[in-house]
Amino acid sequence: MKKNLLIIYFLFQASLLLSQTYQWQWAKQGGGNNGHDVFASTSADENIKAITTDNNGNYYFLTWIYNNQPLVNDSPVTVYGTRDLLLYSTDCVGNLRWKTVIGGYTNSEFAMKIEVDNNGGIYLMANLSNNVAVDSPSNFSPTHLDTNVTLPVISALPAPPYPYGNAIDPAFKTMYLLKYNTATGNLVWYKALQGDVTFPVGRGDNGLWDMDGNKNIHAVLGFYKGTHLDGKITVPNSFDYDIALGNNNVGPQYYLVKFNYDNGNMTVAPNPMLLPITGDFGGTSIDGQAKLLYDENLNRYYITGRRMYGTGSFQYTNLSYGGLPFNNEGFIFTFDGATGNEIWRKEFVFPFMGPGQKQFEKIFDIKKDQNSNIYICGHYSKFPVNNVNGWSPTCTFGNYTLPSTNLNNTIPFVAKMNPSGNVLWMTVPLENGLNGIHDDQSLSVNFIGGLAINGNEIAFTKGAIREKWANFPLTKPLNARSDPFMVRLNLQTGAVIATHEIESNYSTEDQITAVTVDKDGNYIVGGFFTDQLFAASNDGIPTLYSTSMTGYSQFFIAKLGSSSNCSLNTGEVKADVAGIDIYPNPITDILNIRSKNKLESFELYSSVGQRISGGKLQDNNAKINFNSFSAGIYYLKIRTDKSVVTEKVVKK
């Protein structure tokens, strides 16, 4: 029987090669009732920051979550402050596997990236500030790394200069590398990257990192004065930080650091390389505004991003490499992994427009293919010629001529570059999609966007209002706000394959902020929404309604799948082991459920992972009517007060 099932499965998978029709299969939501601002900000409000998948078809997500009745996939979440980090996992049909909260009394927990080793470990670099002391009130929670593990609290006494003088305290450290168990979400270990620090120099930058094919971690880490990385580096006293004056644009001292996988222990390799960087990337704490990509085939590193702090700030970071400053907003450069020497750089350049005007050219994400070509996304500026004040409408990117478009204002783009830095193609929307009205602004959201390579195509995700990509218009009424949006493009040519919108209500700002691809070629996305999501009557997904009563954003995840069966692993927790009896199976009409523990809820999914039914259960017995369902295979998720199980059900 197993052999026959395998044959059917592989025949089914082979048929997918002939046609890849994508549809939204399911969506889940989460969040608390509090937030930072009713005008959603990815630098402060709830949004999915990172997604990754493993070889078993499980999904992993990282987000901020606020307090006041927080939930994830309808499951209550314990938070320790106003806003914490939430790391959680689902299976391929969106069932919650586990959840772990990282945080404490303050709102100073930052992380932007997660990776798995497919050997039971999930890793993240986190920047965690602690303001809880031994004599703090009892409701001031220390920083939790999971339910049972907390970081040290401050034992130093207040002293001048404010707040703790020259006292050294383990609680002043902020830069950590964390490993969690992919099966349970429990903390496996954590490593403090800093040595002894005082309060002012406890800060640092550990947001730039990548994992190679052998599961080694490569990171560009910024430290202030002291001895760090288990004694492997010593940063001079000139890299100081004065709380009253700020860092005077000195920034931390940056090193290229490799963590050898070492059976999941992530051991710091000898001789970290001092990099010729001055200034500050802000890679961790401000929106993940810089990204690191390692190309192990060429042994080179790419850093790309934007220099403006936050999404609405007019403050630039001071940044240079090898003594050459970056003068503009959106940048990309690459350096040699053996010598640290810069290989090439590119910047978007838009001429100065007048007092108080700043550039808004941004690069949000970077990916590479097996041939060491790289792909970037973001947006640049374009304005009509103004003959009165002499403003120039021309934006440049090295010596590349930007594509022609009828749009003005911010122009979203996806570009492919070869290892030499030459642009092979760049794709932009042609117009705003308003019935042939050409000379209008592109209303794309200025928040972060993401890329994911999937075979011979690449997906670009963001928020959009009115854009026309090739023959695929996104048309919304005047004065409407953004919907979560994906563009799929041919990897070789940049030609638009299709676009996918998630319809929300008229007046709210909603966006996809992260995307990845699972082992079956399905897209997993996450982002934020404010009121309603999947509001279209024909999208096949039950509408998500925000549980926030205050107008703050909440986060969501969704799956855009082909006709692929997600190969749900139903063998992890069997119903009989959990004391649940499901009968008859196969079924013709009524399915009976009997449990030794109290039943709480059920969800029913189709064979492609789309949720088709669900509801609350009570007591220890229940019945589900299958009369209205067509013959086929279904997956039934049952939650009791003790466990959650998923079983395959066959309808005759």
Task: DSSP for 488-522, please give it.
Answer: EEETTT--EEEEEE--B-TT---EEEEEEE-TTS-
Span(s) in the chain for CATH 2.130.10.10: 23-561
Span(s) in the chain for CATH 2.60.40.10: 580-651
Kindly calculate the radius of gyration of the chain based on its CA atoms and give it in whole angstroms.
25
Determine phi and psi for 448, rounding to 5 degrees: -70, 150
Regarding the domain delimited by 23-561, which CATH topology (the fold level of the hierarchy) does it fall under?
Methylamine Dehydrogenase; Chain H (2.130.10)
CATH of domain 580-651: 2.60.40.10
- pLDDT tens-digit readout, 391-424: 656 788 988 988 888 877 788 999 999 999 999 9
What is the model's pLDDT at position 611? 77
Which range, of 54-63, 239-248, 632-641, averages the lowest pLDDT? 239-248
* Whole-number percent of the chain with pLDDT over 70: 85
If you ran DSSP here, which 8-state letter would residue 225 be given? S
- pLDDT tens-digit readout, 510-536: 999 999 999 999 999 999 999 999 999
Q: Are 234 and 272 in contact (CB under 8 A)?
A: no
Q: Most confidently modeled of 3-12, 137-146, 383-392?
A: 137-146
Q: Are 59 and 524 in contact (CB under 8 A)?
A: yes
- pLDDT tens-digit readout, 424-433: 999 999 876 4
Q: Are 46 and 70 in contact (CB under 8 A)?
A: no
Q: Are 126 and 167 in contact (CB under 8 A)?
A: no
Across all residues in the chain, what is the average pLDDT? 86
What is the model's pLDDT at position 477? 75
What is the model's pLDDT at position 301? 99
Which range, of 59-73, 105-119, 279-293, averages the lowest pLDDT? 279-293
Nearest to 122 by CA among 212, 205, 209, 184: 184
Rounded to the nearest angstrom, the gap between the alpha carbon of residue 101 and the centroid of all alpha carbons in its chain is 16
CA distance 70 to 48: 15
Q: What is the dihedral of CA 279, 350, 462, 524, to 10 degrees?
A: -50
The model's pTM is 0.85
Residue 7: band (very low, low, confident or very high) from pLDDT cuts 50, 70, 90: very low
CA distance 410 to 437: 17
What is the model's pLDDT at position 571? 41
Task: DSSP for 269-312, please give it.
Answer: PSSPEEP-EEE---TTTSTT-EEEEEETTTTEEEEEEE-BSTTT
State both tokens at 3: 């052999």
Nearest to 98 by CA among 573, 609, 595: 573
DSSP strand pairing (441-442 vs 408-417): parallel
Beta-carbon-side half-sphere exposure of residue 433 (alpha carbons within 13 Å)? 19
CA distance 93 to 57: 10
